[in-house]
Chains A and B, each alone.
Chain A
Amino acid sequence: MISVDNTKKLFQDALSLTPNESQVILTGGKKQLARLGNNKVHQNMLEKEYTVKVQVADGKRVGNASCNRFGGEELKLTVEQAQKVASHQKEDPDWPGFFGSTDSIVDEDFYCQDTMESCFEAKIEELEKVFVDCQKRDVEAAGAFSHGDDVTALGNSHGLFHYHTCTDASFTFSIMTPSGGTGWSEFHSHKLADIDVPRLYEIALEKALASEKPTTVDSGEYTVILEPPAVSSLMWFLGYLGFGGMAYREGRSFFSEKIGEKLLGENITIQDNSRDAQSFGCPFDLEGTKRQAVQLIEKGVFQGPVLDVVNARKLENQESTGHALPYPSTVGPLPLNLSIASGDSSLEEMIKTTKKGILVTRFFYDNVIDPGKLTLTGMTRDGTFLIEDGKISRGLKNMRYNEAIPRILNHVVSLSQENWSLRGFGRMSMPAMKVEGFRFTGASL
């Protein structure tokens, strides 16, 4: 990890190299990752890199240049390149300028020293028992096991300085059987010690064995129970296409001009909050604004998008909520720490109360069909099950869905009490949900 003092020194060095208004953003970190496949560790790697992005403004002409070097000639060349780009740029009429602030943010709330000092090799050795058991059972394990830290820092010629660091540990596990069963489990935390390898193996194995010799069901509408990883895939697109201030302002979002309208079910409340322990993230954005907790949907009613300065200024009576991506952003501000408020049910209860339905462990390769209507397609993966009379009756081959997110979120009949911490589009905190009338249009072989 680059310390606060070293980051300040780097920023001072960079900012002193130009007389222009300027800003420096540091991102990067150190990550160790073991990839598993065929009951072995097939890649075991360490990566460490930090990128320095220099932004120089010449009036309303802005140039950016970045490099992975911190000192000497390379940093000087990067600043000069940003300056050169600025001088050859056209004016950006929307350029908001860099902001000063006396309230410096230094955030280490989700940094776990033990995680970085833990012996990763010892954790990997826990896998040996798993691999031996897999071989005995004639099943195959695959997965990814990682831990590391991230730093995001921002400083500018107006004296603003923000610094955020956190740790992250993740384990995703797949088990495959020779007769077509697959199972999945995952766990994410900022503490490596929270990862329980034997328990995650048990979950994935149980699913894989239960989904052996999968069959098909007809396409059509089904009651579905979506486990939290499946919900997070849908939320990824809702955040990207729906809640961003630029898409909202330009009329591309499903939510454009609909503040105050009830568009989703009464039981749906969605928030973006970088201080949530499960969906934690950087407490400032890359314009330097403090990231606010934003209520996006309250009991089905749309409350407003997340904003950066540029997009807030183009809307009446709005201010940035602190969700800017690095300038220049082609997609505008986005929520990176989404959560859906939990309910009062559980996965077990959802299954027990389903006469006929489908349990989806997770989705794969989701993509947009119609961005304005938030219509997606994608496949189920790693554990799709038929539920009959309150019980899982058999495994199903992967199924293709074609559905609109607003339609899904208007047909949620129950949400789990427990939320999972998940990764993907930033970090998320998602419950399981039971949905009526979910549309499947095909299946895999």
Chain B
Amino acid sequence: MQEFIKKILNRAVHRATELGSDYADARFTTLRSQAISVKNGAVLGVDDHLDYGVGIRVLYKGSWGFASNPDVDDESRMEKAVQRAYDLAVAASKVSPQGVELVDKPVVQDHWESDFNEDPFEVDLEEKLEVLTKSCEAMQKVDGVAITRGSMDFFKEERYFVDSEGSDIYQKVLQSGAGISCMSLLGGEVHSRSYPSSFRGDHNMGGYEVIREMDLLSRAPGLAKEVVQLHNALVCPQEKMDLIIGKSQLVLQVHESCGHAVELDRVLGYEANFAGTSFLTVDKWKNFTYGSEKVNLYQDGTTPEAIGSAKYDDEGVPTCRTDLVKDGQFVGYLKSRDVAKYENGKSNGAARAQGWKHIPIVRMTNIHLAPGQESLDELISSTKRGIFMCDNSSWSIDDKRWNFQFGTEVGWLIENGKLTQMVKKPTYTGITPEFWANCEGVAGKDEWKVWGTPNCGKGQPMQVMRVGHGVSYAKFKEVQVGVGS
């Protein structure tokens, strides 16, 4: 199979070069996925999916053309796809005099596969369903719980990459995720609780062992009790107070206010019509205080357990670790080959495509908030008045990534260094650099964990990517909470 695919890709790249392309690459990907959804203990659906095809990207006089073709073994259709990609590049070049320039990258021939212990596609469906249905049943036993849900998602993806510079790369990744949630509807109030995180749970690189480690069933009864308790919880106060953010919510805070803000294509205006731009303009590079000295953010496309990892990105550039914010100072962007020149550097392996029919664009791989020195207990005990918020329920941020507002499923009031009352529908809002400048502490490596979000959207047509984030807990002073209540 590998030799057959290589031959097709090499032929496509060769043909694009013959036509007059300055550069060409071809990617073949095959994705096998399984999505399992359970609701109220009954199986809502099991969806198995398989797709494959080739994407051909051509650069002509500084302009990109891209065409995709699912009929990989049909020579004439492959030929047509190459021709179409070339024609589109030529058409774009006629109206785009200032084209892109690709920065250099190493030419590699390599083969890489992610690690796993237990192939989830070999695990009996009955076993997976039993975990989810039993978890739902355990939540349903608690009075006041109206709706219970469980889900599992598995992705096995093979990626072949060939380009006109001589690179030839095969990669294979296996990713697994799951989650459970419950909902309570009483007196016109709707509350939800989720584990390990909301919106189809947590996802990591790895096999079914990822699911086993979650131990969903053991967490179900406690989750259900909490969702019912929320009806009698304190309404979130409307005031400025200290805020401690729990793990899965901190994931989204990092994702939205740092991860997207450091995408260099956004900064340069290539997403201006859709996802937006960024306040981290090029004049701010190495010249802007993003947060307090406690704040260290970095991208690492090599984190073994993280869902955004690979050895190479979708331009064949090696993934790596690079600093984004160092001791509070803004120092780096996420880059692809066609935007890297603006930072006088090299691509840091952040060009990714959802699949064969999508063009690679700048994407997060894994964006981590480095662990600090404190513990969660220390963050709480040092707080006179504040809220501890966990598990995202709502997120919104402006098109430059300045103004954000988040809601979480649950919070706990902190008074005189102790967690006191449960808080319902907590929300907070802020301006990104002001918020991170007020970061007073980050919990240490013992409480640091890599999380995965499977649904990061960007680009047109929309590309949905799986992205990893390593975080622990973090404390912020003087945050406006209770907005929109």
Physical interaction between A and B? yes
Residues of chain A at the chain B interface (Cβ within 8 Å):
31-51, 62-69, 74, 77-78, 81-82, 85, 88-90, 92-94, 120-121, 124-125, 127-128, 131, 140, 142-144, 146, 172-174, 176, 250-252, 327-330, 364-373, 375, 377-379, 381, 398, 400, 402, 441-445
Closest to A254 in B: B188
A252 near B190 with CB under 8 A, answer yes
Residues of chain B at the chain A interface (Cβ within 8 Å):
37, 39, 42-53, 63-70, 81, 84-85, 87-89, 91-92, 94-100, 124-126, 129, 133, 146-147, 149, 183, 185, 188-190, 268-274, 276, 279, 357-359, 361, 394-400, 402-403, 405, 407, 425, 427, 429, 431, 460-461, 483-484
Knowing that A173-B273, A400-B403 are A-B contacts, what are 18 other residue pairs whose CB atoms are under 8 Å apart, sorted by A's residue number?
A: A40-B96, A40-B99, A41-B91, A42-B100, A48-B357, A49-B51, A49-B70, A64-B48, A65-B50, A90-B42, A120-B91, A124-B91, A251-B146, A364-B398, A369-B484, A370-B190, A381-B276, A444-B431
Q: Which residues of A contact B92 (CB under 8 A)?
A: 34, 40-42, 44, 124
B43 near A92 with CB under 8 A, answer yes
Q: How far is the CB of B139 from chain A (nearest CB, A)?
A: 15
- Contact A445-B70, Cβ < 8 Å, known A38-B270, A49-B357, A381-B398: no
The complex places the Cα of A144 from the Cα of B462 at a distance, in Å, of 12
Pick the contact of A40 from B44, B97, B271, B403 — CB < 8 Å? B97
The complex places the Cα of A398 from the Cα of B91 at a distance, in Å, of 36
- Contact A444-B402, Cβ < 8 Å, known A67-B51, A68-B70, A127-B95: yes
The complex places the Cα of A51 from the Cα of B279 at a distance, in Å, of 39
A375 near B100 with CB under 8 A, answer no
A-B contact pairs, 17 of them (CB 8 A): A38-B98, A41-B95, A42-B92, A42-B96, A42-B270, A64-B46, A81-B50, A89-B125, A92-B43, A121-B91, A144-B460, A252-B190, A329-B45, A330-B44, A369-B394, A379-B403, A398-B398
B399 near A398 with CB under 8 A, answer yes
Pick the contact of A328 from B44, B50, B89 — CB < 8 Å? B44
A445 near B394 with CB under 8 A, answer no
The complex places the Cα of A48 from the Cα of B85 at a distance, in Å, of 13
B146 near A142 with CB under 8 A, answer no
- Contact A252-B183, Cβ < 8 Å, known A40-B95, A42-B270, A377-B396: yes
A37 near B67 with CB under 8 A, answer no
The complex places the Cα of A78 from the Cα of B47 at a distance, in Å, of 11
The complex places the Cα of A160 from the Cα of B45 at a distance, in Å, of 22
Q: How far is the CB of B396 from chain A (nearest CB, A)?
A: 5
Q: Which residues of B contact A328 (CB under 8 A)?
A: 37, 44-47
B394 near A400 with CB under 8 A, answer no
The complex places the Cα of A40 from the Cα of B28 at a distance, in Å, of 28
Q: How far is the CB of A303 from chain B (nearest CB, A)?
A: 21
B42 near A92 with CB under 8 A, answer yes
Closest to A28 in B: B70
Closest to B130 in A: A90
- Contact A443-B272, Cβ < 8 Å, known A367-B395, A377-B484: no
A445 near B431 with CB under 8 A, answer yes
Q: Which residues of B contact A441 (CB under 8 A)?
A: 429, 483-484
- Contact A125-B95, Cβ < 8 Å, known A48-B69, A370-B190, A398-B399: yes
A365 near B190 with CB under 8 A, answer no
A444 near B400 with CB under 8 A, answer yes
A445 near B279 with CB under 8 A, answer yes
The complex places the Cα of A63 from the Cα of B67 at a distance, in Å, of 33
- Contact A90-B129, Cβ < 8 Å, known A38-B270, A40-B98, A377-B396: yes
